[in-house]
Amino acid sequence: MEHESPLMKLVRERRSIRRYLPKPVEREKILACLEAARLAPSAENAQTWRFVVIDDPELKARYAKEAFSGIYAYTKFAAEAPVLVLLLAKLDFLANRLGRQVQGIPFFLLDAGISGEHFVLRAEELGIGTCWIGWFHVRKTRKFFKIPRRYKIVSLIAMGYYEKKPSRERPRKPLEEIASFNAFGGNSML
């Protein structure tokens, strides 16, 4: 097997972490992750992503009580993460409304996803575990942080040091099942 590049090693080894040590994440490491996210590309260079970092333990506990209540209790594990990062998108006219109307694609979600993935990969590189969370109370989140309507709440990212990273690799579909060259499906599969 060829030598695996540092990027591919990082991508291959990153896992969603749901159990964290009660150890704070250093602010400079959070800033390093935000810097990686800031460098992500975006439609029309709109850079619509915004991040709210919640690392104050008392504030995080109060927020988690709201965000992971009721039907969202399944993700209450995230309340134990030392840091929660709220990923937002500022709804820009060109990249959001026009692109969505013409193409039928909410480009701000693609942009937020790219930026968020830069964030979690940088965290992994720094030895910090993360977990993307989409199952939380969005309305209560908006109210708790007084987030204006012109910002779309996209996701949360739980962040913290892990005691032990899961070693089991999640099954992935083979490349020939998900990719083809020059035509869709059929004989053009790899």
Q: Which DSSP letter does residue 96 get?
A: I
- Structure tokens of 74? 């399944």
Q: Quick one: pLDDT at residue 188?
A: 56
Evaluate whether residue 157 is within a structural domain: yes
Q: Quick one: pLDDT at residue 104?
A: 74
Provide the domain count of the chain: 1
For residue range 16-73, what is the model confidence (pLDDT) as tens digits? 999 999 999 999 999 999 999 999 999 888 899 999 999 999 999 999 999 999 999 9
Q: Domain range spanning residue 30?
A: 6-188
Predicted TM-score (pTM) of the model is 0.90
Evaluate whether residue 58 is within a structural domain: yes
Residue 84's φ and ψ, nearest 5 degrees, are: -120, 135
Which amino acid is residue 110, in one-letter code? L
Evaluate whether residue 16 is within a structural domain: yes
Report the CATH number at residue 130.
3.40.109.10
Evaluate whether residue 133 is within a structural domain: yes
Evaluate whether residue 130 is within a structural domain: yes
Evaluate whether residue 1 is within a structural domain: no
